[in-house]
Structure 1
């Protein structure tokens, strides 16, 4: 009985801390003055950057090829369903004969790095840099070089998507329980997601939705739909809130 009371008290304290952190953290940013009316833009959906694996007992990331392939297939299917409901013309990226695949991949990873910096240095109030205070606006970019890519000619914006999931191993979950009993916080599982719209004329990030506590098990079709719904929440120019099948 004593063990149960201690465990419950610890879990409640952790839940309250997590709720406070989540409450204080922003998840969405828009460049000042940016707006997107439905039916006014051509948007290229870039190839999502997706990774899934296991979090070891020591907290190390161990990639899992099968899980990653499942996640890619499931997220691709969910995005295919959602992209026609975003209020503008959204087309999948095609390298065609440009040979720009490698550099586009670099831009996708650069976007992920920028999005993570936004979470760290602007979305968390306590970590905000002096130049990223609320009154300084939302000023982030992946560079003007993207405007010169032939494979993106004729498009107005690029929609970047990235997800990273680490599912806690049995050892990690046991360590988390032991940590709780000892009053030490140990996380089990990492679920990060970024979705961002980049202006292809300037390389500026005009909209971002990013969170380090995403929901939805991307290894399943239903979970991937939940993840995509969260990623595209608040998408500019969307005529109405979209409910994906099964949600």
Structure 2
């Protein structure tokens, strides 16, 4: 990520006192696979399962240090479940726009150049999702990891010998964001296109989650393991 690019944004005036709100953790979107020689993403089911288990445990361990009650979302079935998936996709699209048009100063839109401007939303209708009643905020988490294949790494070496050719190997990005359920507004976002931690390992997943929650509003200084068992943690990130 370029040095000129920010990683965290807050809605002006937004604060979150510890112990003051109830946050619903939406099912995290976790993608893990290989980057082909041509740069295409090829999903790997085994790696993804490992990452879901490791990240689920790491998120559960981190929850008690976030300063407020965080409850995993009970994913509905049928049409409501499909709607929840649409909101995850919408969050992903909004994050992409924030990174492109606000965090990167060179591309910043005129309306985003004003000091303390951070106006992004999923729309107030999100509060109507089943299972969000009584909650104050929804927490979205996304990670994507593409590990460079042997062919991709070889192509990177060859590309380095050709002036003007850039062929990076691997993609490791993630984001975490809070949505105010009263308005649908994005009130806090931490997004990084060059994240650390190999999510296929417990240690790497713990590092990734620590990076995702950097600057989390109301976060306490000390993180202690949560009481959620490993099985419940894995369920929180889906099967």
* TM-score, L = length of structure 2: 0.89
Q: How does 1:80-229 map to 2 (within 5 A)?
A: 80-95=60-75, 100-135=80-115, 137-183=117-163, 184-229=165-210
Unaligned stretches of 5+ residues in structure 1: 1-17
Structure 2 unpaired stretches of 5+: 226-239
- Greater RCO, 1 or 2 (C-alpha within 8 Å, sep 6+): 2
- Give me the whole-angstrom Cα distance separating, in 2, the residues matched to 1:232 and 1:157: 15
Change (3 A) 1:168 1:156: same
Query: C-alpha separation between the residues in 2 aligned to 1:176 and 1:237?
Result: 42
Larger Rg: 1
Query: In angstroms, what is the RMSD of aligned CA positions?
Result: 1.7
Q: Is the 8 A contact 2:18 2:68 kept in 1?
A: yes
Q: Judging by fraction of residues, say which structure has more helix.
A: 1
Further displaced range: 92-101 or 167-176: 92-101
After superposition, the C-alpha distances for 1:87-132 in whole angstroms (9 at most, x for unaligned) are: 0011111136897322112111211111111111100000111111
Aligned structure 1 segments of 4 or more residues deviating by more than 3 angstroms: 95-99, 241-244
Q: What aligned pairs does 1:49-64 form with structure 2 within 5 A after superposition?
A: 49-64=29-44
Q: Which residue of 2 aligns with 1:7?
A: none
Distance change in 2, residues 1:97/1:164 (3 Å)? closer
